[in-house]
Structure 1
Amino acid sequence: MSMILFACVVRVRDGLPLSASTDFYHTQDFLECRRRLKTLALRLAQYPGRGSAQGCDFNIHFSSSGDVACMAICSRRCPAAMAFCFLETVWWEFTASYDTTCIGLASRPYAFLEFAPNFRMEPVTALGILSLILNIMCAALNLIRGIHLAEHSLQVAHEEIGNILAFLIPFVACIFQCYLYLFYSPARTTKVVLMLLFICLGNVYLHGLRNLWQILFHVGVAFLSSHQILTRQLQEKQSDCGV
């Protein structure tokens, strides 16, 4: 789990949000922390240039200079030094991108959303690339077999429809597994389990059209891809903090 969960840039004098990272978390505690952050942003002019607000599960850290402040919601295990270093890095990059005149004239929330202090996924690994290649191969095999069966089953009984779906549903699941590996998505674990279930059930249903080794290959690739998705986490924005 990422230690820095949300970051935003606000204008100090009135708390106007100028930019923010993508919000991946929607638990009740996190949403309550977002409300606290918004309230705190409106009062930043009353506080010193750096501070923290502690909560049960999350901490809010802020760092300001001039009329620009950077704020972050972090997990309790995130060291304060890391959070402040991250915020200072965001502050320097933001103020280097936009001058004080532009910031002062901003009249609508998130006027500089293109800056977006987002978090990237960890770099792909060799095993992750292999899982992508194998997943694409499985998707292609499922699509080809499904289309081929559909072309020759137009006048056949309804039981063939089940076989066609058993090819096409795992095809979609394989493609979605590739997406989940490359891009972060909320409720990722639930989606991974569902995709794995679709692929496994589809291949079990196809017993007879596929031999045991083919089924084991498709299921094995699905498990490998699921493992790679769940082990690739969000990457904190890097800086020269030395923490």
Structure 2
Amino acid sequence: MSSVVFSSVVRVEDGLPLSASTDYEQDPELQAARRCLKGLSKKMGQFPDRCTLRTGPYHVNFTCALGVAYLMVCTSSYPPVLAFCFLEELQKEFIVSYDARRVRSAVRPYCFIQFDTFIQKTKQRYNSPRSLSTRINLADMQTEIRLRPPYQLSPEDLQAVNGAAAPTACKYKAPSQVLSPVSLSGVVSCVLSLLCGGLNLLRGVHAIESILQNDDEDFNYVIAFFLGTAACLYQVRWPLPVLIVGL
């Protein structure tokens, strides 16, 4: 049977629920649709102002205006024109009943729960379409939907806004490094640094031999020679690979 099942009103800025209809049904598929509605309500600002999400045998429809979103769950066979007329009626009544200042200052969930009375009455009317007297409004909405159809959301859209989408490969590419041969002065500097490093290493080895033969020698000389070797090798850490490429 085609029907409106559930409806709620939320603040777009932060997804705070302001009012909702009472729902006693425990159908697992309906509960899944309500979870989709709850997920959408937290990210309303990321979607167009009129959307439809298909989830199993149910559709989640919503519309936004003046910082407030009006959402509803209906069966998949429920006519879209009736669904959005239903939301439009909720929107008009809510704007008349609560000004923008009260909406902005709301801090508690469902602080406008008394609006549920109007939601329930409107839901009953729209679940009996033959009793509707707003034929002109229905015609206007049908024309509007034909000219500007609701954006069809996909489950991937819902997953993406809730951070559950599968990770995608990063499209950023690190800047490539191009090696080019060093200049003549760079080659000379590299060779001299290697020679100095070799000499310091050789002098360090001789200093160790001298210490082994004479106990009174100062070990600080050995440290100084090896530090000099390390410094020379550090100076050629970048030119050496480039020099090899150039050769």
Normalising by structure 1, we get a TM-score of 0.51
User: What SS does structure 1 have at the residue aligned with 2:113?
Assistant: coil
Q: In structure 1, what residue type is equivalent to 2:81?
A: A
The alpha-carbon deviation at position 119 of structure 1 amounts to: 3.9
The alpha-carbon deviation at position 234 of structure 1 amounts to: 5.5
Tell me the residue number matched to 1:103. Answer: 103
Tell me the residue number matched to 1:159. Answer: none
Q: Does 1:59 align with 2:59?
A: yes
Q: Does 1:118 align with 2:120?
A: yes
C-alpha distance after superposition, 1:161-190 (max 9, x if no partner): xxxxxxxxxxxxxxxxxxxxxxxxxxxxxx
Cα distance in 1 for partners of 2:8, 2:123 equals 19
Q: Quick one: structure 1 residues 93 and 64, their matched pair in 2 at CA, closer, same or farther if it must change by over 3 Å? A: same
User: What SS does structure 2 have at the residue aligned with 1:114?
Assistant: helix
Q: Quick one: structure 1 residues 122 and 75, their matched pair in 2 at CA, closer, same or farther if it must change by over 3 Å? A: closer
Q: Quick one: structure 1 residues 95 and 108, their matched pair in 2 at CA, closer, same or farther if it must change by over 3 Å? A: same
Q: Does 1:36 align with 2:26?
A: no
Cα distance in 2 for partners of 1:121, 1:49 equals 21
User: What SS does structure 1 have at the residue aligned with 2:15?
Assistant: coil
- Is the Cα–Cα contact under 8 Å of residues 58 and 74 in structure 1 kept in the other structure? yes
Tell me the residue number matched to 1:21. Answer: 21
The alpha-carbon deviation at position 75 of structure 1 amounts to: 0.1
User: What SS does structure 1 have at the residue aligned with 2:111?
Assistant: coil
Give runs of aligned pairs for residues 205-220 of structure 1, distance below 5 A: none
The alpha-carbon deviation at position 120 of structure 1 amounts to: 6.7
C-alpha distance after superposition, 1:219-242 (max 9, x if no partner): xxxxxxxxxxxxxx9546955324
CA-atom RMSD, angstroms?
Answer: 2.4
Give runs of aligned pairs for residues 163-182 of structure 1, distance below 5 A: none
User: What SS does structure 2 have at the residue aligned with 1:107?
Assistant: coil
Runs of 4+ in 1 over 3 A off after TM superposition: 119-123, 233-240
Q: In structure 2, what residue type is equivalent to 1:96?
A: V
Cα distance in 1 for partners of 2:3, 2:49 equals 22
Q: Does 1:83 align with 2:56?
A: no
Cα distance in 2 for partners of 1:74, 1:24 equals 15
C-alpha distance after superposition, 1:99-123 (max 9, x if no partner): 0000011101110010111147979
User: What SS does structure 2 have at the residue aligned with 1:241?
Assistant: helix
Structure 2: state its 5+ residue gaps: 143-247
Tell me the residue number matched to 2:71. Answer: 71
User: What SS does structure 2 have at the residue aligned with 1:14?
Assistant: coil
Q: Does 1:49 align with 2:42?
A: no
Q: In structure 1, what residue type is equivalent to 2:22?
A: T
The alpha-carbon deviation at position 79 of structure 1 amounts to: 1.2
**One of 128, 134, 138 as aligned partner of 1:241:** 138
Aligned length: 134
Sequence identity percentage: 35
- Is the Cα–Cα contact under 8 Å of residues 21 and 119 in structure 1 kept in the other structure? no
Q: Quick one: structure 1 residues 40 and 96, their matched pair in 2 at CA, closer, same or farther if it must change by over 3 Å? A: same
- Is the Cα–Cα contact under 8 Å of residues 15 and 41 in structure 1 kept in the other structure? yes
Q: Does 1:7 align with 2:4?
A: no
Cα distance in 2 for partners of 1:121, 1:65 equals 20
Q: In structure 2, what residue type is equivalent to 1:11?
A: R
Q: In structure 2, what residue type is equivalent to 1:241?
A: L
C-alpha distance after superposition, 1:39-71 (max 9, x if no partner): 000010011110010111100000001211100
Tell me the residue number matched to 1:160. Answer: none
Cα distance in 2 for partners of 1:41, 1:56 equals 19
Structure 1: state its 5+ residue gaps: 124-232
Rg (Cα) greater in structure: 2
- Is the Cα–Cα contact under 8 Å of residues 86 and 122 in structure 2 kept in the other structure? no
User: What SS does structure 2 have at the residue aligned with 1:83?
Assistant: helix
